[in-house]
């Protein structure tokens, strides 16, 4: 079993839709949770960084961590074509583990 | 803040030559830097973890003599692909971790094409 599981998609939504991206994990020791956005041919860009359970909001982005279910989510409100990218979840405890990434396309 | 640069952004070289890629943390000190490799439409593959002033720790299956890593200062790590072959063609990305933080900041990546 992989440490981190992420549906690779692809996910295609119309502009303005709410997008939900998810990852599950198996190691209950993970404490730090991150979401990265990667545009084609670019390095990943840190979007959200949370510690332990709960929600964190930043503009149109909300990161949610449910440690009891070992489940994290990233919500994108009012999605824009510029949000089209691959989204990687990551988590760590001494060592980093990345999901495989979900490819998102927002159609104008 | 937390900007990481890579140089060059892309390089084309002949088979058998060596290529050096630089990774710099521009506005912070990074005691730990990471090197990744990424194939098209695939996720990041960690190659090695580089700590300032000590030898890099390589992941299983990564040849340390092929991929030489030097982390000479708190702001600079280099990856040298020695005797490059076409199968080494890939997207190489570095990242740096801030002291006291549990997150990584990535560079823009270097695209290597070996002919």
- When comparing pLDDT for A7 and B15, which is higher? B15
- Closest in A46, A88, A101 to B103, CB measured: A46
Q: Which helix (H) or strand (E) holds A91?
A: strand A85-93
A47 touches chain B (CB under 8 A): no
Nearest-Cα residue of chain A relative to residue B43: A100
Burial A61-87 (b: 16+ CB within 10 A, else e): bbbbbeeeebebbbbbeebeeebbbbb
In this predicted structure, what is the pLDDT of residue B1? 65
∠B22-B110-A42 over CA atoms, to 5°? 125
Please, which pLDDT band fits residue A25 given cuts at 50, 70 and 90? very high
Q: Does A18 touch chain B (CB under 8 A)?
A: no
- For A45-101, the pLDDT digits (tens) are 999 999 878 899 999 999 999 999 999 999 999 999 999 999 999 998 878 899 999
CB within 8 A of A72, min separation 6: which ones? A22, A23, A24, A25, A33, A63, A64, A65, A66, A89, A91
pLDDT of residue A53: 84
Q: Encode pLDDT of A5-22 as tens digits.
A: 998 889 999 999 999 999
pLDDT at position B96 is 94
């Amino acid at each position: 079993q992989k440490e981190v599981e992420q549906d690779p998609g692809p996910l295609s939504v119309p502009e303005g839709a709410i997008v939900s991206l998810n990852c599950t994990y198996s190691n209950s020791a993970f404490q730090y949770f991150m979401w990265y956005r990667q545009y084609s041919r670019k390095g990943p860009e840190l979007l959200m960084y949370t510690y332990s359970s709960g929600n964190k909001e930043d503009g149109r982005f909300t990161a949610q961590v449910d440690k009891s279910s070992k489940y994290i989510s990233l919500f994108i409100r009012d999605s824009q074509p510029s949000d089209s990218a691959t989204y990687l979840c990551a988590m760590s405890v001494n060592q980093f583990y990345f999901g495989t990434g979900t490819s998102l396309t927002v159609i104008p | 803040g937390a900007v990481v640069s890579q140089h060059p952004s892309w390089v084309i070289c002949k088979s058998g030559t060596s290529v050096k890629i630089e990774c710099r943390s521009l506005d912070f000190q990074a005691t730990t830097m990471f090197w990744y490799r990424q194939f098209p439409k695939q996720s990041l593959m960690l190659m090695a973890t580089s700590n300032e002033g000590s030898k890099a720790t390589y992941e299983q299956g990564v040849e340390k003599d092929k991929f030489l890593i030097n982390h000479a200062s708190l702001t600079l790590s280099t990856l040298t692909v020695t005797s490059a072959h076409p199968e080494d063609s890939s997207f190489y990305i570095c990242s740096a971790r801030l002291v006291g933080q549990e997150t990584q900041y990535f560079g823009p990546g270097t695209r290597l094409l070996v002919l």
